[in-house]
C-alpha cells in the first residue's frame, strides 16, 4: 500500500531535520563526517540540528543551513552514541489496520541507541501529545532506551518515573515492561494504539482552537474562569422581547455536569446588570425547575431588601420576577400523576389509570374522540424520551380527555370516582391555557386561551387556584406515603402565578400595556435553538464544545436570513432575531 504526502515526525521536541545534499561532493562530505559507507543510499536520511555548529545556520531559528555546511558529531547520550533518523517505508499490514498511527524504529548500527519515530499526521500527533502531557519530555536522553546489544541502561535522572513495578508507573499503565524499551515495531504500534483508544473519549471533548491557541472542551464559565474538568453541558442565556417579538442569544458557557449554584447566581445578576446598562428593561427570568436553577433563584430572592419577596429579587433596585417554564410545569404535573394520586380538593382524587382507561376504550371506536393520542404515548415507563414531549402531556391533560372521561363515567363504563379525575384534568388544562396563550382573543371557545387583559377571567381564576394549590396532596401509589414535599411542581405553579400577577400590576398602569402576551414567558425560543443546533449535522446530536460553538454561530447567522425552522421541539415561537435594534 503506497502512501504519499506524509511528513516525518520524531520524538525530538522542536528540532529541525536536514536531508543529505544532492550535490555529489557535498553528499560525500556528509557521509564521511557521519562515518557512512559511500555506497549507502542516503536519499531519505535526515540529520537533526544538534549535529551542526551554530555558525552553520542562516539564522538563530536554525531553519536553514549555510551553503557548504558539514555536520559534526555531538553526544546525545552518555555513551556517546550518534543517532541518525531514517525515513522507513510504511508497513502495509499496519496501515490497513490503523492509518492514523505508524510507529517505526530504525537501528543505524549494532552499537547505537535507538530513537523512537512517530510517523503521524501533524494534527493527531500534536493533540495526542498535549492530551497525554508528554510534549515536555526531552527524548534526547536515551538512557532509558535499549541498546543494540539489548543491554538495559539504568536511569537515575528525570526519567526515573518510567521505572518501577508499581501499578502507578507509566510502563504499567501502557502495558510495557522495562526490558521492552525500546520495543519492536509491532509492540510499539500495539501499545500506542491502545493508549490512543483510551483517549478517544477525551478527543471527543478536547479540541485545539488554532485561532485562539487553547484547548476547548474544558469547563469555561467566562470571566469566572476555566477549570481542568471536561465539559459536558452548555448553559445558554437568551433575551426575549415582551411587547415586540424578538430574541437574541447573549451568552453561553460550558460546564461539567450542572453549574454550581453560587456561579449561576452570579451570572444571572451580572447578565441582568449588563442588559440594564445598555438600556433594556429586564422584567423576569424564565427557566425550568432544575435543582440548581431553583437553588440559585431562591438565594437571589432571600437577599435582604426593603421590598423582599419569595418570587422576585432586585438588581440595581429594580424588581425581577422569577417564572418557571409553563410547558415544563405541565410535564412535571403529568409525571407526578404517573406515580402518585393527587388530592386537589377534599375527598377528590385524580388517578392516571383513569386516563389510560379512557384511551383504551377510545381505541376500540371507529370515530375516535382522542385522535392525537397513540399507543406509544402511554409507554412512559420504558420510554423516557416520550415523557419529555409537551404535546403528549398536553393531550393527556386536555379538555378533550376530560370531556370523554365524563361521558364514559356517566354511561357507567368508568367508576364514579373517575369524574374527579376529569375535573382535575380540566383544571390543569385551563391553568396551562391561562399561562401559555399568545392570542389576543379566546380561541376554540376556550375562555382562558387568550392574553391577559383587564377584562379577561385570568385573575379571578388564579386567585382561587392559589388557595387550592396550598392544599394539594400527593400520595404514593405503592406505599401510600405523603410525597407532597418531594415534588416541586405545585410551588412552581404558585410562583409563576404570583409573578405574572405582580408583573401585570406593574405594566398595566403607565406602560401602555392593554394586554400581556403570556407566551412570551416560556422557553420555546431556547428549545427551538437547541433543536436547530442538533439538526446542524449528524454529529451535533451530541456535540462537543467546538461543534456546539460552530453550530451556534451558524444557526444564529442563518436565522437572520431565514428565522423559520422545521422539526422543532416546540411550537413556533414567532420571534424574529434581533437584527434591527429598533425592535427593542
**53-99 confidence digits (pLDDT tens):** 888 888 877 888 888 888 886 544 333 334 344 333 333 333 333 32
Beta bridge partners of 319: 314
**Which of 84-98, 147-161, 211-225, 546-560 has the weakest average pLDDT?**
84-98
The backbone torsions φ and ψ at residue 470, rounded to the nearest 5 degrees and listed phi first, read -65, -25
> Looking up cell 483508544, which residue turns up?
197
> Is the per-residue pLDDT at 244 higher than 80?
yes
**Which of 169-173, 258-262, 369-373 has the weakest average pLDDT?**
169-173
Residues 70 and 85: beta-carbon distance below 8 Å: no
Split at pLDDT 50, 70, 90, the class of 418 is very high
- Dihedral sign of CA atoms 217, 221, 225, 231 in order: negative
pLDDT in tens, 511-560: 778 889 999 999 988 888 888 888 877 667 788 888 888 888 888 887 76
Write out the H or E segment, with its range, that includes residue 108: none
> Is the per-residue pLDDT at 326 higher than 70?
yes
Of 266 and 444, which is predicted with more confidence?
Answer: 266
Give the contacts of 2 (CB within 8 A, at least 6 positions apart): none
**Mean pLDDT across the stretch 299-305?**
87
Residues 418 and 408: beta-carbon distance below 8 Å: yes
Q: Measured in whole angstroms, how far is the alpha carbon of residue 393 from the centre of its chain?
A: 27
Residues 95 and 119: beta-carbon distance below 8 Å: no
Q: How far apart are CA 397 and CA 393, in angstroms?
A: 6
Q: How far apart are CA 523 and CA 331, in angstroms?
A: 14
If you count them, how many residues does the chain have? 584
DSSP at 260: P
> Looking up cell 442565556, which residue turns up?
237
Q: What number of helices (H) and strands (E) belong to the chain?
A: 18, 20
> Looking up cell 363504563, which residue turns up?
413
Overall pTM > 0.85: no
Helix, strand and coil percent figures for the chain, each rounded to 5 = 40, 15, 45
Residues 390 and 318: beta-carbon distance below 8 Å: no
Q: How far apart are CA 62 and CA 50, in angstroms?
A: 10
Closest CA to 355 of 414, 410, 411: 414
The backbone torsions φ and ψ at residue 70, rounded to the nearest 5 degrees and listed phi first, read -125, 135
Beta bridge partners of 482: 475
Q: Which three cell numbers stand for residue 434?
A: 391561562
Closest CA to 432 of 399, 467, 466, 402: 399
DSSP at 316: T
Highest averaged pLDDT of the listed ranges 159-163, 186-190, 215-219, 400-404 = 400-404
Residues 40 and 2: beta-carbon distance below 8 Å: no
Q: What pLDDT score was predicted for residue 299? A: 93
Residues 354 and 405: beta-carbon distance below 8 Å: yes
Residues 283 and 242: beta-carbon distance below 8 Å: yes
Domain boundaries in the chain?
17-198, 218-325+522-578, 326-520
Give the percent of the chain with pLDDT over 70. 70
pLDDT in tens, 471-526: 999 999 999 999 999 999 999 999 999 999 999 998 887 777 888 999 999 998 88
Residues 556 and 473: beta-carbon distance below 8 Å: no
Q: Which three cell numbers stand for residue 305?
A: 431588601
Q: Measured in whole angstroms, how far is the alpha carbon of residue 566 from the centre of its chain?
A: 22
pLDDT in tens, 346-403: 999 999 999 999 999 999 999 999 999 999 999 887 777 888 899 999 999 999 999 9
Q: What pLDDT score was predicted for residue 125? A: 37
Q: How far apart are CA 446 and CA 429, in angstroms?
A: 10
Split at pLDDT 50, 70, 90, the class of 432 is very high
Split at pLDDT 50, 70, 90, the class of 578 is low
Task: Please state, in angstroms and as integers, the Cα–Cα distance from residue 390 to each residue in 78, 105, 114, 381, 500, following that order.
Answer: 72, 60, 65, 16, 22
Closest CA to 159 of 84, 81, 82, 78: 78
Q: What pLDDT score was predicted for residue 497? A: 96
Of 24 and 164, which is predicted with more confidence?
Answer: 24
Split at pLDDT 50, 70, 90, the class of 573 is low
Q: How far apart are CA 362 and CA 413, in angstroms?
A: 12
DSSP at 90: P
Q: What pLDDT score was predicted for residue 577? A: 64
Residues 11 and 139: beta-carbon distance below 8 Å: yes
> Is the per-residue pLDDT at 301 higher than 70?
yes
Split at pLDDT 50, 70, 90, the class of 567 is low
Q: Measured in whole angstroms, how far is the alpha carbon of residue 580 from the centre of its chain?
A: 30
In a 3-state reduction of DSSP, which class is residue 228?
A: strand
> Is the per-residue pLDDT at 307 higher than 50?
yes
Amino acid at each position: 500500500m503506497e502512501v504519499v504526502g506524509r511528513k516525518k515526525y520524531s520524538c525530538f521536541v522542536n528540532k529541525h531535520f536536514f536531508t543529505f545534499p544532492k550535490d555529489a561532493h557535498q553528499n560525500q562530505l556528509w557521509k564521511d563526517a557521519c562515518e557512512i559507507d559511500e555506497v549507502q543510499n542516503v536519499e531519505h536520511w535526515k540529520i537533526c540540528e544538534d549535529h551542526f555548529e551554530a555558525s552553520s545556520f542562516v539564522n538563530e531559528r536554525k531553519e536553514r543551513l549555510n551553503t557548504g555546511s558539514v555536520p559534526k558529531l555531538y553526544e546525545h547520550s552518555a555513551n556517546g552514541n550518534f543517532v541518525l533518523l531514517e525515513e522507513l517505508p510504511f508497513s502495509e499490514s499496519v496501515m490497513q489496520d490503523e492509518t492514523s498511527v505508524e510507529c517505526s524504529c530504525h537501528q543505524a548500527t549494532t552499537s547505537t541507541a535507538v530513537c523512537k519515530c512517530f510517523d503521524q499526521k501533524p494534527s493527531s500527533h500534536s493533540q495526542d501529545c498535549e492530551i497525554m502531557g508528554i510534549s515536555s519530555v526531552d527524548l534526547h536522553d536515551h538512557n532509558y532506551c535499549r541498546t543494540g546489544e539489548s543491554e538495559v541502561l539504568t536511569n537515575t535522572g528525570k526519567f526515573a518515573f518510567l521505572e518501577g513495578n508499581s501499578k502507578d508507573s507509566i510502563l504499567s499503565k501502557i502495558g510495557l515492561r522495562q526490558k521492552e524499551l525500546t520495543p519492536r515495531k509491532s509492540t510499539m504500534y500495539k501499545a500506542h494504539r491502545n493508549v490512543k483508544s483510551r483517549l478517544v473519549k477525551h478527543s471527543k471533548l478536547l479540541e485545539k482552537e488554532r485561532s485562539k491557541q487553547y484547548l476547548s472542551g474544558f469547563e469555561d464559565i467566562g470571566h469566572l474562569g476555566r477549570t481542568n474538568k471536561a465539559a459536558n453541558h452548555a448553559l445558554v442565556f437568551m433575551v426575549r422581547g415582551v411587547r415586540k417579538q424578538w430574541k437574541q442569544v447573549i451568552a453561553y458557557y460550558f460546564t461539567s455536569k450542572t453549574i454550581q449554584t453560587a456561579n449561576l447566581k452570579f451570572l444571572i445578576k451580572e447578565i441582568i446588570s449588563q442588559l440594564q446598562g445598555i438600556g433594556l428593561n429586564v422584567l423576569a427570568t424564565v427557566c425550568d425547575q432544575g435543582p440548581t436553577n431553583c437553588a440559585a433563584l431562591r438565594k437571589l430572592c432571600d437577599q435582604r431588601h426593603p421590598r423582599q419577596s419569595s418570587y422576585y429579587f432586585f438588581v440595581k433596585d429594580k424588581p425581577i420576577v422569577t417564572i418557571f417554564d409553563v410547558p415544563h410545569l405541565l410535564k412535571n404535573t403529568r409525571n407526578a400523576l404517573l406515580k402518585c394520586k393527587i388530592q386537589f380538593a377534599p375527598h377528590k382524587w385524580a388517578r392516571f389509570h383513569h386516563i389510560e382507561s379512557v384511551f383504551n376504550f377510545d381505541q376500540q371506536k371507529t370515530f375516535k374522540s382522542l385522535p392525537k393520542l397513540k399507543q406509544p404515548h402511554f409507554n412512559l415507563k420504558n420510554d423516557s424520551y416520550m415523557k419529555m414531549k409537551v404535546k403528549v402531556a398536553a393531550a393527556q391533560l386536555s379538555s378533550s380527555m376530560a370531556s370523554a372521561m365524563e361521558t364514559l363515567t356517566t354511561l357507567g363504563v368508568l367508576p364514579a370516582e373517575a369524574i374527579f379525575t376529569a375535573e382535575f384534568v380540566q383544571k390543569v388544562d385551563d391553568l396551562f391555557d391561562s399561562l401559555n396563550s399568545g392570542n389576543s382573543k379566546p380561541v376554540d371557545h376556550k375562555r382562558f386561551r387568550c392574553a391577559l387583559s383587564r377584562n379577561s377571567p385570568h385573575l379571578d381564576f388564579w386567585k382561587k387556584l392559589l388557595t387550592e394549590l396550598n392544599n394539594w396532596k400527593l400520595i404514593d401509589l405503592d406505599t401510600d406515603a405523603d410525597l407532597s414535599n418531594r415534588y416541586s411542581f405545585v410551588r412552581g405553579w404558585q410562583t409563576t402565578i404570583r409573578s405574572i400577577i405582580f408583573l401585570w400590576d406593574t405594566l398595566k398602569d403607565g406602560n401602555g400595556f392593554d394586554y400581556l402576551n403570556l407566551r412570551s414567558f416560556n422557553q420555546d425560543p431556547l428549545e427551538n435553538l437547541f433543536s436547530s443546533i442538533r439538526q446542524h449535522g449528524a454529529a451535533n446530536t451530541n456535540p462537543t464544545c467546538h461543534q456546539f460553538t460552530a453550530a451556534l454561530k451558524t444557526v444564529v447567522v442563518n436565522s437572520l436570513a431565514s428565522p423559520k425552522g422545521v422539526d422543532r421541539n416546540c411550537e413556533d415561537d414567532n420571534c424574529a432575531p434581533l437584527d434591527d435594534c429598533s425592535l427593542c
